[in-house]
Chains A and B, each alone.
Chain A
Amino acid sequence: MIERWNRDQVLALAPDASSQKAAQGVSAPGKWSGTGVTDDALWGECKGSGSKPYRACVDLSEPAYRCTCPSRKFPCKHALGLLLLWSAGGVPEAGEPADWVGEWLDGRRDRAAKAVTRAPKGEAGPADARRAAQREQRVTAGLADLERWLGDQIRQGIAGSRRHDQWDDLAKRLIDAQAPGVAGAVSRLGSALDGDDWPGRLLSEYSLLYLLCVAHRTLPERASEAEAAAGAGAAAGAVAGGGGAPAGLLERVRDRIGFSVTKEEVLAGQTVRDLWDVLGRRDETHDRLIARRVWLRGRSSGRAALVLSFAPTGQALDASLVTGTTVDADLAFYPGSTPLRAVVAARHDAVPAGPPPGVSVDRALEEVAGALAGDPWLDSWPVVLEGVVPAGGDLRLLAGASGALPFHPSVQTSWRLVATSGGHPLTVAAEWTPRGLRPLTTWDEEGRVIIL
């Protein structure tokens, strides 16, 4: 039996605040009939404005949602309301799912099975090869342009750079050069301008872009040299300075530039099965597109993982990973040194949750250093800190035995975290960023997950 999620965990699945509110409006037991829950399915019929009730059901193992209402929100308020009702203990256990639920579940499983057996795409044709070569040329030209531009900035001085629109042209040129990853990084440069230390932070950002240009320009050659050296029996990896094989680093560079790897390619690679703790998530809106980052950590592999999903504002985001739960799953990682981004390749049975194992502040910093060695452009990484206490004058530090880590400047004092701690050490999952931690989740003395 899957452990019931708490109210915050359910509400965190909502696509937006208005959905959260609407869901609470349909979570009263009086609105529902024919409800039931089994090991992996939850269902019920909700009285709507029409004559026929809406039928909502949730596959708890994924989770996946379905409802007969016309809403385009996902999950819709009925599915969320039903989950809230279940969360409050208002849904009776049943031996078998209702007929209509069973049909849906079977249909889903059939489709999933078909998806696995579907034949991979055909080999790339000559037209594809020509397009690929053309893109390589454009990217190379675009990055050369960027490198020149960066040099110009430093020659002329960045004192006059405190304008938010000055990167728009450059970002557009990089989009035209088919380097969307760098274009995105350039268009986000404005975030380096707040605070008094902006010249240093802007210089850092420029220097990392420069590093990317240089890496793209020189790494392929060094990678083939390294391959040759490896072929001759020399130690591979030394060339890239110890941060993973150059080939891996090159993949990382191409990923940063925006050469995307398709999900199918990722799924075709190796997978890692583990018990993955869902540590938390953060949604970020940029240009009317919401990026959802869900952070995971494997219990036995100790690996960090990031499941990214995107949707235009107001549309469905991936809500299949519930914060505070632990899922037994196979994860397929995107290639490159310091693999982080992953997709869920297969899920197995649900497992009971509990606080994930954590590490000390020192160990977490070592881990981040290791991750940066493989990916110098890394700007976030999930950590689970064990035995830390909120500290500092405004309680925006997490203190362990050897010292403390500060919060990100934009993160307020988390009174929920302070209250849960009461000055006693606890386990906190947080997102590391170069400017400080963003706390995600903690667990209270009863082991209850508290979303921060």
Chain B
Amino acid sequence: MNAAEWEELVSVALVGTDRRPLAGRAGSETEVLARAAVRTLRVRAGRRPVPAGEPPAAAAAEKQPVVPRAAADRLARILGGENPRLLDEWLRAAAERGYRLTPHLLPELLDRAAKDRSIRPQAGVLAGERGRWLARLNPAWEFLLAEATVATVTGLGDGGETWQLGTPGDRRAYLAALRAADPAGARELLAATWEKETPDDREAFLKVLADGLCGDDEPFLEAALDDRRREVRNEAAYLLSRLPESRLGLRMAERAARCLTVADGEIHVDPPASCDAAMERDGIRVKPQYGAGERSWWLQQVVARTPLAVWPRLFGRPPGEIVRMPMADWGKEIVAGWVRAAMVQEDPEWARELFLVDAQANLLAVLPREEQESVAVEFVRRNSGRNARHPHLADHLSGVAAPWGADLSRVVLETILDQCTGQPTWHTTNLINVAGERIDPALCDMAERFSPEPHIQEIAALLRFRNNMVKELQ
């Protein structure tokens, strides 16, 4: 029976043999069913393979070592929902060592990276050749092709060729490596092709200059303030506000001086009345965020972009006194501006003084590493007594770089032990999470012996999980 006969049977069955008997036969309904049964079985039993077309060319041979089996199994556990917050740490540790992922785990990782940009650089390394092969087959994973591969992340590779022919990610990685080795050379390389780069690339490449930023970059960045793309202008303004001697810094200092004056030991504030084109060019955003008032918003930005060295000259006192000076009005905006300036300009002296006024995690991050922990230990001691519970301790401590040393770890564990009599509050739960993720995993034995209390043991278990995770990736 050929296809036409089958079509005929189907159309007879559709209309019904009452109206359209099979080949003029009365009572032909059983004949239709019998022939259909034969045909159905012939088709099922006689099926031939279909033409496959051109299958995709095989993926190229891998150049990186595959992650050890135990490590891959642990990643599967994390992706499956066990300690999901450790995904980032696992990916970073594995990518730093130049591993590639076991192929069957790639779809899950790439799906995650499609939704979460922050893990794409790690995915770029871990994907290996197989991941890039997959990304060419599945449009949802195309982003991967723009990420840097392991070759460019770990070294300068073949130099000029990468810069001319590489993916955006490879070129960015190349520029970053060159910037680390030869800052001026990297800037000149970028300046030479600047006009021809796409807006996305200009933005990404400009960010690379943050590393090794110095006064020599100023003319290039000042010119970028007139770029066609807003994100590029903003990035240039941001970088210039990190250079205290820049023309932008001087312009901001003038604006700040017009807004803030001292009389009778008190700071008087007169926020900008308008945001002119020159201010906008220097990166001040006109539209306020979060429903803030316009003048308050402009004031805060001007203070944040003013070189911190301006204030002692203007007020004739050291930072420690300035941050404690009384202010008639707008005090909140001024302090917020200084905090932002201390972070952007990475000024430890201001950060230290401001932390005592406004204990923000970002300020801790500006301090030298050893000092971060000692300041944090002091802060926890002051804020964790039975009567002085600080609700946002976890937020403040998140500014201390991981891994935390023994002193800070002990104080934090003590605080948790102290707080979790009965049902722990949301704040304590946060602290437990941060402690488990930040304490040096090598301290897991210490944590386990610290107390049999379940929450401490929970932290100890997480530390042990991380400790094993690190070992598996060695």
Contact = CB atoms under 8 A, between A and B. Distances in A.
Contact of A362 (B49, B50, B57): B49
A203 B9 contact: yes
A403 B50 contact: yes
B49 A361 contact: yes
Contacts of A422: 58-59, 103, 130, 133
B447 to A, nearest CB: 11
A32 to B, nearest CB: 11
B53 interface: yes
A451 to B, nearest CB: 9
A361 B458 CA distance: 52
A372 B34 CA distance: 17
A155 B16 contact: yes
B220 interface: no
A105 to B, nearest CB: 28
Given A7-B80, A365-B48, A404-B52, A159 B40 contact: no
Sorted from nearest, which 6 A-B pairs have the closest CB atoms? A403-B49, A157-B16, A423-B58, A399-B52, A207-B36, A30-B461
Contacts of B104: 416, 419-420, 444, 448, 450
A207 B40 contact: yes
B368 interface: no
A393 B52 CA distance: 9
A11 interface: yes
B41 to A, nearest CB: 5
23 contacts: A7-B80, A27-B82, A29-B464, A30-B457, A87-B73, A154-B17, A154-B32, A157-B15, A157-B16, A207-B34, A207-B37, A207-B39, A207-B40, A210-B34, A365-B49, A372-B45, A391-B56, A403-B52, A419-B103, A419-B134, A423-B56, A423-B133, A424-B59
Contacts of A390: 55-56
Given A24-B81, A372-B44, A423-B57, A444 B49 contact: no
Contact of A418 (B39, B48, B52, B137): B137
A369 B17 contact: no
A154 B14 CA distance: 8
Given A151-B33, A423-B57, A204 B19 contact: no
Interface string B123-134: 000000010011
Nearest to B105: A419
Contacts of A89: 70
B471 interface: no
B107 A416 contact: yes
Decide if the interface of chain B is mainly helix, strand, loop or mixed.
helix
Interface in B9-35: 9-10, 12-19, 29-30, 32-35
Given A24-B81, A368-B45, A418-B134, A211 B106 contact: no
A104 interface: no
A397 interface: yes
A interface: dominant SS:
helix
Interface of B: 6, 9-10, 12-19, 29-30, 32-37, 39-41, 44-53, 55-59, 69-70, 73-74, 76-77, 80-82, 102-104, 106-107, 130, 133-134, 137-138, 457-458, 460-461, 464-465
Contacts of B458: 30
B49 A210 contact: no
Nearest to B110: A415
Nearest to A154: B29
Contacts of B13: 154, 157-158, 199, 203, 206
Nearest to A450: B104
Interface in A122-151: 150-151
Nearest to A89: B70
Name the residue in A206, A207, A406, A420 with the highest tally of chain B Cβ atoms < 10 Å from its Cβ: A207
Contacts of B6: 200
Contacts of B460: 30
B49 A405 contact: yes
Nearest to B101: A419
A30 B58 CA distance: 44
A415 B56 contact: no
Contacts of B53: 391-393, 397
A71 interface: no
B48 A403 contact: yes
A391 to B, nearest CB: 4
A402 interface: yes
A190 interface: no
Contacts of A159: 14-16
Contact of B465 (A28, A362, A399): A28
